[in-house]
């Protein structure tokens, strides 16, 4: 897993690591002034800033044009932020010392004011991209985002240009940046680091390299801001490095948006086209596509081989141009259809043989409902007529085979409702053939009411042609009154012109013995053989289901963990037969006190558990104490006489924060241990929070028999 993650994000990690190493090295370098005059720095500064401006504009353009994609909302907000950043960075470029006056005299403070707001909007765009959900970004919200970005950019520009006196100083010539500037740059560093972390988490969760590049860009901008917090002159080493890091960050942002918004969809489209091509070429039916004028757009291999023509020679030509004298008998030279049509036609194959085709011509449309052309799908059913002639003979043989296998056969005329049942089918239910009217209502009257859903779930889709066959297991009422489990399987033999089922045949097999065996095996797998209670595995599944209801705030529920006190002493003193009798007596005693909704299980040995749904903590304690008292007051009968015994109970409420059964069981077990440690024959309620010490027992027994056992 770790190797796969490193491989997928190796390039963003390598780029960030390299820039991080260069940053560490730069820390030990003095703030060398690379240019004697700030004007000498102008060409390099302008080039770096223009690159960032171009990237910001491209990111905005990509985000806006991809707003209707699956992740369009995130791209729109990132693009809007980049639009504002581009406008403010342009103002920053024009305000740099040495540039012609930009509305007002240029200065370092003026350039820094535009810079800081641009960086703030940029990191907010990255944060939005990290936290927004995957959804379509089309609609008014996209336009409002762009307008808001433009409004913020022009509003801040108006403030900087018209009211510079309200802004504090951020740079002092000869001394460098002010403490306020350093603090603001530090805040931007923290925001960029937060964006890097959120984007990295999203990249790991979604498995996308694009988010990895955005995380690398955020981290790189954090390093850039650290450089800008340290420079002493506008043309020194740290200022140049900060702009270089900014260029690297913008290149990463563009790569991320381009890969996720353009390259990835193109690759997905190419893969989808290859898959579609492979699918249609693997189909044995003859498939061809035509435009609205009847010119071919393409075909599959089966079509090309059947007509002996290459697909390249087919594209762009009509039937009359391609097939000349061997046009199909039906549909020759016709325009494309506007609705689905089905017909039979003869095909003169490339080898000169005639083949009968069942052809479906269906139109296809674009997203706006405009017809683009038609799809022709032809299936060879030359052999179908010969097969139909053989059906009657096969049915006769089938009836003989079914009788020998003791399978009941039925034949249903769907439109009229008439149905014929074989003698074996009638005998399976205790009837003579003449006792059941030849109508489907005879079968309907025998179906168990609870089984209709399973029947309809398989029968109706098959009648509509959605499923290939009908298969269901259900109960039919025997003439003597009991229920017979049958396996029903059938298939529609004939359909009408509209695909409606006309005739259906099938069989019934008596599977009562198999069902009885399955029920017996299920009972063995989920119950305790000695007490007949649910076993641990089944109980765990029930508790997990109840936890789901608790998490949905449907109702509170409690778990009781019960352990018979000194049960080993009972086995050692009275024998294991007496111990088994005590377990069965305990089971009967507790079961008589529980509600129908309560779930009682034996977890193993003398350990039992009860799930109490729809009950609060006070009710759970009262129920547990009632069980404890009833057990203490109800001795078991063994060969040596009445045998008193007691039970210790640990109780806990199911918590929506529980990860599973084990968390609730651990609390109940800790409470049970506390009950035993306090003297047994007690109920202890576990605290609400896991890991807190259990409180004092909420009850304790006073029965003399239980005292003897202690």
Q: What is the set of active-site residues?
A: 606
Residue in the structure block whose two tokens are 């435009």: 291
Lookup: tokens for 607: 């350990």
Element (H, E) at 590: helix 576-591
Reported as half-sphere exposure (CB side, CA atoms, 13 A), residue 38 has a value of 14
Which residues have a Cβ under 8 Å from the Cβ of 96 and sit 6 or more positions away? 38, 42, 45, 46, 106, 111, 234
494, 502 contact by CB (below 8 A): yes
φ/ψ of 289, rounded to 5, equals -125, 135
Dist CA 92 CA 105 (whole Å): 13
- Beta bridge partners, 410, equal 421, 506
For the four alpha carbons of 423, 425, 427 and 433, in that order, the dihedral sign comes to negative
Lookup: tokens for 368: 């706006």
- The region that residue 694 occupies, defined by phi over 0 for left and psi between -120 and 50 for alpha, beta otherwise, is beta
63, 257 contact by CB (below 8 A): yes
Lookup: tokens for 620: 């759970």
Dist CA 296 CA 373 (whole Å): 9
Element (H, E) at 507: strand 501-510
- What radius of gyration do the chain's Cα atoms show? 40
Interhelix angle 108-131/72-95, nearest 10 degrees: 170
Dist CA 412 CA 420 (whole Å): 7
492, 462 contact by CB (below 8 A): yes
Neighbours of 403 (CB within 10 A): 14
Nearest one of 208, 18, 227 to 129, comparing CA atoms: 208
684, 672 contact by CB (below 8 A): yes
**DSSP alpha helices (H): ranges in 163-207?**
179-206
Lookup: tokens for 682: 């007690």
Dist CA 406 CA 391 (whole Å): 22
Dist CA 686 CA 694 (whole Å): 5
Dist CA 577 CA 203 (whole Å): 63
Read out DSSP for 513-549?
HHHHHHHHHHHHHHB-TTT--B-HHHHHHHHHHHHHH
598, 613 contact by CB (below 8 A): yes
b/e code 589-612 from CB counts within 10 Å (16+ = b): bbeeeeeeebbbbbbeebbbbbbb
Dist CA 490 CA 482 (whole Å): 25
Strands 341-348 and 483-495: unpaired
φ/ψ of 103, rounded to 5, equals 70, -50
333, 320 contact by CB (below 8 A): yes
Element (H, E) at 672: helix 661-677
Neighbours of 697 (CB within 10 A): 21
- Beta bridge partners, 421, equal 410
């Amino acid at each position: 897993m770790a190797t796969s993650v490193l491989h997928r994000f190796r390039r963003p990690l390598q780029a960030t690591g390299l820039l991080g190493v260069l940053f560490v090295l730069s820390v030990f370098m003095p703030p060398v002034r690379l240019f004697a005059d700030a004007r000498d720095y102008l060409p390099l500064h302008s080039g770096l800033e223009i690159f960032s401006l171009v990237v910001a504009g491209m990111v905005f353009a990509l985000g806006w044009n991809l707003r209707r994609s699956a992740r369009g909302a995130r791209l729109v907000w990132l693009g809007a932020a980049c639009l504002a950043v581009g406008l403010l960075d342009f103002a920053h470029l024009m305000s740099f010392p040495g540039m012609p006056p930009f509305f007002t005299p240029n200065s370092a403070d003026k350039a820094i004011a535009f810079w800081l707001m641009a960086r703030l909007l940029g990191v907010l765009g990255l944060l939005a991209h990290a936290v927004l959900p995957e959804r379509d970004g089309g609609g008014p919200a996209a336009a409002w985002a762009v307008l808001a970005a433009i409004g913020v950019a022009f509003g801040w520009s108006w403030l900087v240009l018209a009211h510079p006196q309200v802004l504090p100083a951020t740079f002092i010539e000869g001394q460098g940046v002010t403490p306020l500037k350093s603090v603001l740059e530090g805040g931007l560093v923290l925001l960029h680091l937060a964006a890097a972390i959120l984007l990295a988490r999203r990249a790991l969760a979604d498995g996308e390299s694009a988010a990895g590049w955005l995380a690398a860009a955020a981290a790189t901008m954090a390093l850039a801001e650290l450089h800008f917090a340290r420079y002493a002159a506008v043309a020194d080493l740290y200022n140049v490095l900060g702009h270089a890091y900014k260029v690297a960050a913008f290149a990463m942002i563009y790569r991320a948006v381009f890969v996720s918004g353009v390259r990835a969809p193109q690759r997905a489209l190419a893969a989808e086209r290859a898959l579609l091509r492979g699918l249609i070429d693997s189909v044995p039916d003859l498939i061809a596509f035509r435009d609205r004028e009847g010119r071919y757009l393409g075909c599959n291999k089966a079509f090309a081989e059947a007509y002996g023509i290459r697909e390249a020679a087919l594209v762009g030509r009509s039937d009359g141009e391609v097939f000349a004298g061997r046009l199909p008998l039906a549909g020759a030279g016709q325009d494309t259809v506007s609705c689905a049509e089905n017909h039979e036609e003869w095909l003169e194959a490339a080898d000169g043989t005639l083949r009968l085709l069942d052809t479906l011509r269906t139109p296809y449309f674009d997203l706006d409902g405009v017809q683009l052309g038609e799809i022709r799908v032809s299936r060879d059913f030359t052999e179908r007529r010969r097969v139909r002639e053989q059906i009657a003979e096969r049915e006769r043989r089938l009836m003989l085979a079914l009788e020998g296998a003791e399978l009941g056969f039925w034949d249903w005329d769907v439109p009229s409702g008439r149905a014929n049942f074989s003698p074996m089918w009638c005998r399976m239910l205790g009837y003579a053939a003449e006792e059941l009217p030849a109508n489907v209502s005879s079968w309907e009257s025998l179906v168990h009411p609870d089984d209709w859903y399973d029947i309809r779930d398989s029968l109706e889709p098959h009648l509509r042609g959605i499923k290939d066959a009908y298969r269901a297991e259900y109960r039919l009422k025997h003439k003597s009154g009991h229920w017979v489990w049958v396996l029903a399987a059938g298939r529609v033999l004939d359909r009408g012109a509209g695909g409606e089922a006309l005739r259906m045949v099938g069989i019934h097999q008596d599977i009562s013995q198999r069902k009885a065996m399955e029920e017996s095996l299920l009972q063995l797998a989920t119950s305790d053989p000695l007490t007949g209670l649910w076993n641990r595995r089944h109980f765990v599944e029930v508790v997990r289901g109840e936890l789901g209801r608790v998490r949905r705030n449907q109702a509170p529920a409690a778990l009781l963990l019960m352990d018979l006190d000194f049960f080993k002493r009972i086995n050692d003193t009275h024998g294991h037969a007496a111990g088994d009798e005590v377990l069965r007596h305990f089971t009967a005693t507790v079961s008589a006190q529980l509600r129908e909704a309560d779930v009682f299980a034996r977890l193993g040995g003398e350990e039992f558990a009860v799930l109490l749904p729809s009950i609060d903590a006070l009710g759970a304690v009262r129920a547990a104490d009632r069980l404890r008292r009833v057990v203490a007051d109800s001795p078991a009968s063994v060969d040596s006489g009445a045998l008193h015994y007691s039970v210790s109970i640990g109780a806990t409420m199911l918590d929506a924060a529980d990860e599973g059964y084990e968390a609730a069981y651990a609390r109940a077990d800790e409470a049970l241990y506390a009950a035993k440690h306090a003297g047994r024959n007690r109920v202890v309620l576990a605290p609400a929070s896991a890991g807190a010490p259990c409180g004092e027992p909420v009850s304790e027994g006073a029965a003399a028999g239980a005292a003897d056992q202690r």
